[in-house]
Amino acid sequence: MALSRQLRLLRWLVPPLIFLLAAFHQAAAQRLAAYLDVSWQGYSELLLFGLTGSLVTWLGLSWLAAAGHRSAEAEARLRTAYAELEANHQKLLALHELGHRLATADDETTVLELAARAPLQLTDAQASSVVTFDPEGNRLKLEMAWGLSERYLQALRTYLDQGVDAERCRTCVALKTHVSADCPLFVGIRAVAQAEGIGSLACLPLVRDRERVGIISAYFPAADGPPEEQVRLLNILGGAIAAMLESMRARARQVHTLHALDRATASALGDTLGEFAARMLDIVMAGWEAQAGGVFLYEEETNTWSCRAARGLGQDLEHPAYRLAVQLIRQAREHGGPVIADESEGHEEHRLLSAIATPLLNEGRTVGALFLGARRRQAFHERQFELLRTVAHQAALAIGYARLYERLEQMSILEERYRLAREIHDGLAQTLGYLNLQVERLEMLLSAGRTQAARQEVVELRRTVRAAYVDVREAIDGLRLSVERPEHLAARLRDYVQEFGLQTGIAVEFDAQPSDLVVEAAVGLQLLRIAQEALTNVRKHAQASRVRVALFRSERELELTITDNGMGFPLAPSSSGHRSYGLNGMRERAQSLGGTMTIASGPGQGTRVIVTIPLEGRP
């Protein structure tokens, strides 16, 4: 640009300059001619023209030479600037490509490899290494190296294995040093570094949650380290790699959270709602590295919240952390989505610098809310909302299942209470009433002095008491069946049949195919109840000496058969409704499983009860 300005100035100065030189030449010629003879005037003009022409020519050539030199220098500077611009452009392209590859990396090893190679692509570094801090031993660990010779790598590994204190690297401020300095990465292997032509290194900190967890070291041949523009590139690189590692670790933790929640949901059958909520909360808190959390259920009819699981929320409802949780879950319900609070009011008391709450939605209805709190700033981000919604949806479904299971369990408890009440009413209560009458009769006989008749009444009393004991024992065994893993049907049924034989003296035979048959817990419990009711009828009504219980599973169905050699059903209905109540209960249990119950009997022919349960859609 300076040369072009000079040329424009020269274009305006040349005509006046030529006019002035011509005028000066003419004036000088006339002046000289006045003093010379006429014969010398021609020679004087020639001499004058030679002098002024040579002067003008010398001045012009000198100016052109200077202009050409300046032009060459400007062109050289322009080429240098273009080369630098091209080099910076290539480095920016390399940085962009590196950022793309970091964003698409699938695992932490790939990220560390890119981190180790990047200084060689972006700067004049001749080698690099990635070193992390061992949190337990507070030592340096070599994770990755690039460009280091085998000799230097072996020396560095040996040196680090001896135990280098990581605290100096963790708190280092300079992050740039020469080979002769007292740097933990040079002390002990300085001679090897100098032999390899390493003059300095620059370190890029890897930061996680505002804490330095490692460094990327770039080795340079120059003793004064890399230029400032390369240091800026390295700082950009270090920030990108640290963010990517943190994002990848967080994503891995959260994906693990989803899988763990899946497993917890699949294995939650039998857990109470509180137990499942506690397991779910522990899983989610670990995934988000939270120090506090709570699972709250919402009752729409009464507009009330109840806490089913809590961690780090204090011991009472007035604790600041608990109040913060309640405040956020209400906001989340009103908002219909996650709500974040950073550096919330009163954090000096509850020590939670960031918190988040999200509603638990099931078919558009709020069934509860999840709260998480952390003792670090910005622990939760909007980019996590989608994943948190997925976790919340899964948790809402699982809680819905747990609630349904809890209600079914309550219904089952009520049903068993009804069965037990019926058994007590039809068995023990009637027996006690009969015993009361017998005792009154015994008193009358003793008062009348009829000793022999009284002895016969005592015998009858003993028989009645024994029958009552058997009834009570059966009721106790029935209660035990509801809790002792009914899914192991063959084993549970075998134990019950053997106990029945020991208590009643009736010969029993049991057969199961396969012998270790396992079914759904609900199926096992219902079939055990059916078998119990059938054997109770055998004891009370069949007057049998032998009974056979068979369990068989085919590809399509499960069959339970109870056969006795007793008196069979009479032609006329019994005056007691107990057996009909029991049979109706057995049939209802079979139908609840989608199955059928068949009874085959006749006077003196014994009785066979066959229960068939279809297996389609069942494990």
pLDDT on residue 578: 45
Which stretch of DSSP H or E encloses residue 220?
A: strand 211-220
Lowest mean pLDDT across 1-15, 67-81, 104-118, 303-317? 1-15
- The residue among 86 and 499 whose pLDDT is bigger is 499
Q: Which residues contact 84 (CB under 8 A, 6 or more apart)?
A: none
Q: Model confidence over 266-318: pLDDT tens digits?
A: 665 556 778 888 888 888 888 888 899 999 999 888 888 989 899 988 878 88
> What SS3 state is found at 224?
coil
Beta bridge partners of 603: none
Q: Which pLDDT score, from 0 to 100, does residue 55 have?
A: 62
- pLDDT average, residue stretch 307-334: 89
Q: What CA–CA distance (Å, rounded) separates 593 from 530?
A: 12
CA gap 316, 2 in Å, rounded: 80
Segment 198-229, tens digit of pLDDT = 888 888 887 765 677 788 888 888 887 777 77
Q: Give the range among 155-169, 193-207, 421-435, 447-461 with minimum mean pLDDT.
A: 421-435
pLDDT at 356: 92
| Predicted confidence (pLDDT) at residue 336 exceeds the cutoff of 60 | yes
How does pLDDT run across 17-51, given as a tens digit for each residue? Answer: 666 666 666 666 666 666 655 565 556 666 666 66
CB 294 within 8 A of CB 325: yes
* pLDDT attached to residue 125: 83
Q: What is the distance between the alpha carbons of residues 320 and 313, in angstroms, rounded to a whole number?
A: 8
Q: Which range among 52-61, 450-459, 525-534 shows the weakest confidence by mean pLDDT?
A: 52-61
pLDDT tens digit sequence for 543-570: 899 999 999 998 889 999 999 999 887 7
Q: What is the mean pLDDT of the chain?
A: 77
Report the share of the chain in percent with pLDDT over 90.
12
**What is the 8-class DSSP label of residue 574?**
P
The pLDDT of residue 589 is above 80: yes
* pTM score: 0.45
Are the C-beta atoms of 588 and 418 separated by less than 8 Å?
no
pLDDT band at 605 (very low <50, low <70, confident <90, very high): confident
Question: What is the pLDDT, as a whole number, of residue 60?
Answer: 62
Closest C-alpha to 217, from 332, 112, 303, 339:
112
Report whether pLDDT(516) > 70.
yes
pLDDT attached to residue 559: 94
pLDDT at 328 over 90: yes
pLDDT recorded at residue 122: 75
The pLDDT > 70 percentage for the chain reads: 67
Residue 249 pLDDT exceeds 80 = no
As a whole number of angstroms, the distance between CA 392 and CA 357 comes to 10
Distance of CA 404 to the CA centre of its chain: 26
Per DSSP, the three-state class of 481 is: helix
User: What is the per-residue pLDDT for 435?
Assistant: 72
| 583, pLDDT greater than 70 | yes
Query: What is the reported pLDDT for 357?
Result: 93
CA distances from 239 to 71, 184, 215, 410 (A): 43, 23, 11, 56
The residue with greater pLDDT, 160 or 39, is 160
Q: Which pLDDT value is given to residue 185?
A: 82
Does the pLDDT at position 437 exceed 80?
A: no
pLDDT of 412 higher than 80: no
**C-alpha to C-alpha distances, 260 to 220, 255, 338, 377, 489, nearest whole angstrom:** 46, 9, 21, 26, 29
pLDDT confidence of residue 577? 45
What average pLDDT does range 322-340 have in this prediction? Answer: 91
Q: How far is CA 556 from CA 445, 470, 619, in A?
A: 63, 37, 11
Contact 583, 484 (CB under 8 A): no
Neighbour order of strands in the sheet with 304-311? 304-311, 292-299, 365-374, 354-362, 339-342
Checking if the pLDDT of 493 tops 70, the result is: yes
